[in-house]
Structure 1
Amino acid sequence: MSAVISRRSPALFIVMGVSGCGKSTVSESLAEHFGIISLDADDFHSAENKAHMASGQPLTDAMRVPWVHGLRDHLALMAAQGESCTLAFSGLRKAHRDVLRNTGHRVFYLLLDGSRELIAKRMQARAGHFMPASLLDSQFAALERPMADEQMMYIDIDQPVDGVMNTIYTLVDDLI
């Protein structure tokens, strides 16, 4: 574990963006780099939410609220135990991002940013995910671009994964 990420001051790296941008891959790589836990917000969705999305329907804000609050509660418990982690989380709404800022962690947001065409191509190439590529437009429509006060790190994903990760390691190492 990095000496900078300690149990006294746990860190939370939220890797966010629309479905198919690479959140899970980046979150897992970042967790491995720092020797911390990797979480995926998709694992916290209810069976009803997953079925709703799998049927080609986007979630409503009302459907997202219990999911986000459940994530916050789990993360707060981890922070109380001194556990740092990464979280792959869409973060489409500012209100949801704000909820996760209050977990007891030092929070770092990384937005994986790419064009609709690039992400659609990646979604069509993946198999076994409950989120169909047909919902990509609804993801972009729901995404509230971060405001300047959110202290967001923007990561261009139009490069190989190694390039994305090297960019992130440089940014994060400079911050912590």
Structure 2
Amino acid sequence: MSGGPRVAVVMGVSGSGKTTLARALAGAWAATFLDADDFHSAQARAHMASGQPLTDAMRQPWVERIALDLQHRVAAGERVTLAFSGLRRRHRDLLRATGLPLRFLFLSGDAATIDGRMRARSGHYMPVSLLDSQFAALEDPTGEPDVDAIAVGLAPDTQLAHALRLLGDDA
């Protein structure tokens, strides 16, 4: 295996397609798929389900749990794809502070497109009413050296091919 990324963090606001791309990428890149939502406490999920956005203080232990899990998995020899909002620079920096070779793939799109996607899905705890707070919390990662943008509007197979190119597909 090359010295390229061991962790691909697929990031963006809720409804941008993070889980879809990260799952597909895990299969094509021979990696373990993780959904950052699975690391939320029951309290945090209930908070969001009630229509209230999380505060940075509420997000901090969540990101710390994710970072620790990533460290364990990479130490065990795994490659990982992580579906993670990554809205705040400080949370991306917490993942960077692990020292793991990682790459952020930012699913970039406008609110109207993502709103339509959120309204079309079912069974997710994140209500459409929180989309505005997601965009308000997003500290645009464009320009950060380990971040590449992928357009939300691209077809899923095109997004996957682009992601694999960005990661230097050595699977």
Task: Pick the aligned partner of 1:161 from 119, 132, 156.
Answer: 156
Q: TM-score, normalised by structure 1?
A: 0.91
Structure 2 CA distance for aligned equivalents of residues 10 and 169 of structure 1: 11
Q: Aligned residues: percent identity?
A: 50
Return the letter of the residue paired with 1:96. Answer: H
Structure 1 CA distance for aligned equivalents of residues 144 and 135 of structure 2: 21
Task: Pick the aligned partner of 1:91 from 67, 86, 89.
Answer: 86
Return the letter of the residue paired with 1:162. Answer: D
Task: Pick the aligned partner of 1:127 from 122, 132, 136.
Answer: 122
CA contact (8 A) 2:29 2:164 kept: no
The 4+ residue runs of structure 1 with deviation greater than 4 A are none
Structure 1 CA distance for aligned equivalents of residues 79 and 125 of structure 2: 28
| 1:12-91 equivalences in 2 (<5 Å) | 12-91=7-86
Structure 2 CA distance for aligned equivalents of residues 19 and 65 of structure 1: 18
Deviation readout 1:12-39 (Å, 9 max, x if unpaired): 0000000000000000111100111000
Flag structure 2 segments of 5+ consecutive residues without an equivalent: none
- Greater relative contact order, per chain length (Cα 8 Å cut-off, separation 6+): 2
Aligned residue pairs total 171
Deviation readout 1:151-172 (Å, 9 max, x if unpaired): 2100011122112112222222
Aligned to 2:112: 117
Per-residue deviation, 1:102: 2.8
Moved more, 35-44 or 103-112: 103-112
Q: CA RMSD in A?
A: 1.9
Deviation readout 1:30-78 (Å, 9 max, x if unpaired): 1100111000000000000000000000001110001011111111111
Per-residue deviation, 1:4: 3.5
Does the residue aligned with 1:52 lie in a helix, a strand or coil?
helix
Return the letter of the residue paired with 1:164. Answer: Q
CA contact (8 A) 1:84 1:105 kept: no
Q: TM-score, normalised by structure 2?
A: 0.93
Task: Pick the aligned partner of 2:138 from 128, 138, 143.
Answer: 143
Structure 1 CA distance for aligned equivalents of residues 58 and 119 of structure 2: 26
CA contact (8 A) 2:13 2:131 kept: yes
Structure 2 CA distance for aligned equivalents of residues 74 and 119 of structure 1: 29
Return the letter of the residue paired with 1:140. Answer: F
